[in-house]
Structure 1
Amino acid sequence: MGRDGLGARAVASPLESARFGCSVDRLTVHSEHPSSFPTVREAVLGSAADVIVLRYPADRVDWFAKLAMLGRTAIFADSLSYWRLRAGEGRRPEPSQGLRTTRITDAAAVGSLVSEIFAAYGSHYSANPLFGATEALAGYQDWALRSAAEGRCLALGTAAADAYLGLATLDEQGPRTEILLAGVVPEAQGRGLYAHLLKGIEDGTLARGADEILISTQGHNTRVQKAWARYGFEPVRAVLTVHLVKSRLIP
């Protein structure tokens, strides 16, 4: 991955390979460091993986047809929509005496929350018949547990009892906080609680002197994007996800 001249590179993903029982490479083309299609083509042809998970800026609208001609089965796996908020400019909900946000490291609680929140989430894995839903959810749990172990997991709970209603995992580097996973348990949805989780993230971002919050979701997830818009986030870019699979593996 990188600027043309440095070349795009398919990188092995050992965790996904072990989880799904087939070799998986990741190849990401960043909008800040664009690569030309010939560079990406070279990286795809040079990969021996069963599956290449490729992400690239959505404005490369001509790429999918070209990718489908590289000797692999090209599976369109939806898009990612990225939204951004300047920290301190969020439309914060009225304070609630019954809610609190706190850092959480309890592995059992984190795993349970991820299972509740993301069990029905249609991620890019859902598009690929080689990837099972159970294994995909386990991947989200592992991802969240690593964040929790590093102190980068925030939970929304009730002040009166040790009950958690929502969860967010964060990448906190430099002037930006990126929200990796965020959601509220199904039975607590529709009550405005998600905004309180966002407020806790914004408070933490300001406390460490950062000035920007970034978040993304699958393009089909319009419900959460409406919540981001209400809070003050603005859309900034879209990224396409394509799985390039060795054709002999597709039934």
Structure 2
Amino acid sequence: MSWWEMTGNGTPRAVESPFDSARFGRPVQRLTVPAGSGPSFGPVREAVLGSAADVIVLRYPAGHVGWFAELTSLGRTAVFADSLAYWRLRAGRGRAPEPRADLRVVGPLPADAVPGPVCDIFAAYRSHYTANPLFDAGAALEGYREWAVRSAASGGCVALRERDAHDDGSGVLALATLAGDGITGGGGHEVADDGGTGGGKDEDSAGVTEILLAGVVSRARGRGLYGHLLAAVEERALARGGREVVISTQGHNTGVQRAWARYGFEPVHTFLTVHLIRSRLLRGPRR
């Protein structure tokens, strides 16, 4: 889900997730409780009980510490799938590294230049999908590839290349995709120098730029490139009149969160992720 959906004040409701459903071969819905929606569990209960999906991917503010016990009484198996941490940077206040003569910023990239770097960056990333015994990890990685291609096709992609590299996917050292028109996120994913990941619109009317995915390819890690990638995104946001850059990742991904803190980002929200699975589906053989 995007920053705007997660931080608003709308009424929680289960909505179809066609990409997830197609990818994992079973009906999947998403149920998001925005940060400003209030403390009542009632709308969540109604949405869960009224859903016919095999899996509901629920995200709710971590402050609702009593909700998980409530979820276990709704007739589904509740699988805890980590947390989603959102961080924010006031554009223009980032602690960007000194420019390097061996790097150049490029973007937007053509969509066909994106799949290789994205699959390399996220090959070992443990997303919330991996908590679900019904979901295939390879299909989750394919989801990142599809997501990045859609973003790149809408012009929402920034990359770092070696100065003399050819303009194809082989020269990409680090990559960030931004939410483009008509593209909605599924939760950020960041894999920094020492891994990396990140999670609308590109710049909305409030001047917010959201990073969907970001990271450094495996062969280029340990070279201090992630800070340069964040600087490239911040510069793009400023050039378009943006006031904030937001990004998100799984709670376990502490390495990239340290990189954000060094750059100047601050934590603003944490959401818990729970997969609510029809219990009968878990009675057979598991992967």
Same fold, judged at TM 0.5 (above):
yes
Corresponding position of 2:175: 167
Shift of 1:39: 0.9
What TM-score comes out, normalization by structure 2 length? 0.84
Paired residues, number: 249
Corresponding position of 1:138: 142
Q: Any stretches of 5+ residues in structure 1 without a counterpart?
A: none
Corresponding position of 2:227: 195
SS in 2 for 1:245: strand
Shift of 1:239: 0.5
SS in 2 for 1:145: helix
CA RMSD of aligned residues (A): 1.3
What TM-score comes out, normalization by structure 1 length? 0.96
Conservation of the 8 A alpha-carbon contact between 1:80 and 1:216? yes
In the alignment, residue 107 of structure 1 is paired with which amino acid? Answer: A
Shift of 1:87: 0.4
Shift of 1:63: 0.3
Q: Distance in 1 between matches of 2:244 and 2:37?
A: 20
- Structure 1 7/225 Cα, relative in aligned 2: closer, same or farther at 3 Å? closer
Shift of 1:179: 0.5
Q: Any stretches of 5+ residues in structure 2 without a counterpart?
A: 180-201
Corresponding position of 1:105: 109
Pairing 1:124–2:128 present: yes
The one of 29, 33, 40 equivalent to 1:29 is 33
SS in 1 for 2:114: helix
Q: Share of identical aligned residues, percent?
A: 63
In the alignment, residue 177 of structure 2 is paired with which amino acid? Answer: T
Shift of 1:35: 5.8
Conservation of the 8 A alpha-carbon contact between 2:12 and 2:37? no
Q: Distance in 2 between matches of 1:236 and 1:190?
A: 28
SS in 2 for 1:177: strand
Give a deviation string over 1:122-169, Cα, whole Å, max 9, x none: 000010011101100010100000000000011111111121101111
Shift of 1:190: 1.6
Q: How does 1:1-251 map to 2 (within 5 A)?
A: 7-34=11-38, 36-162=40-166, 163-171=171-179, 172-174=202-204, 175-251=207-283
In the alignment, residue 94 of structure 1 is paired with which amino acid? Answer: E
